[in-house]
Structure 1
Amino acid sequence: MSLFPRSRAGSRKRLVTLVGKPGCHLCDDARRIVATVCDDLGTEWEEKDITQDAALNEAYWEQIPVVLIDGEQHTFWRVDPNRLRRALGA
């Protein structure tokens, strides 16, 4: 029995987290890319606001937007949709 959720195809479910803040145009761009890629692949994603989380603010305030995959930093500032797809196994 696996500790990781499985998708219909049998691969481990992934979680993409977009870390940003309101009023950030790069965050808006990243949100569109993350939403499109994750929706296309059936990957779960969430968004976290650094203005509401002191630990995230301290860790990432100079890099937002930041994209995490399963809690590990994937990229920051600009999101490359093809690179994100590859990282998610597509």
Structure 2
Amino acid sequence: MKMVELMVRETCGSCERVAAQIAPVVERCGAELVLVDVDADPDNAAEYGDRVPVVVIDGEEFACWEVDNNDLEAELLR
């Protein structure tokens, strides 16, 4: 099962929008979606803080700010 992490920040409206957008795609593809608050870890804050939301699939950055559902589905089904 692929792991999809969405790097988010509590005060980020775009993060909420992207989470709602990709959740059905992730579920349909049989992957697991985990929201990760970048402010909870200094390393994540340094890496992703200025760019949230960021989609990370199995440890590899996939998309930043905007996500194309078709591209996401294709990657998850690879």
Q: TM-score, normalised by structure 2?
A: 0.92
User: Secondary structure of 2:77's match?
Assistant: coil
DSSP 3-state at the match of 1:27: helix
Query: Which residue number corresponds to residue 68 of structure 2?
Result: 80
Which residue does 2:48 correspond to in 1? Answer: 60
Computing the radius of gyration from Cα coordinates, the structure with the larger value is 1
- Kindly indicate whether residue 26 of structure 2 is the aligned counterpart of residue 38 of structure 1: yes
- Provide TM-score, normalisation by structure 1: 0.81
Identity %: 31
What is the root-mean-square deviation of aligned Cα atoms in Å? 1.2
Q: Which runs of 5+ in 2 are unaligned?
A: none
Q: Which has the higher helix share?
A: 2
Moved over 3 A (4+): none
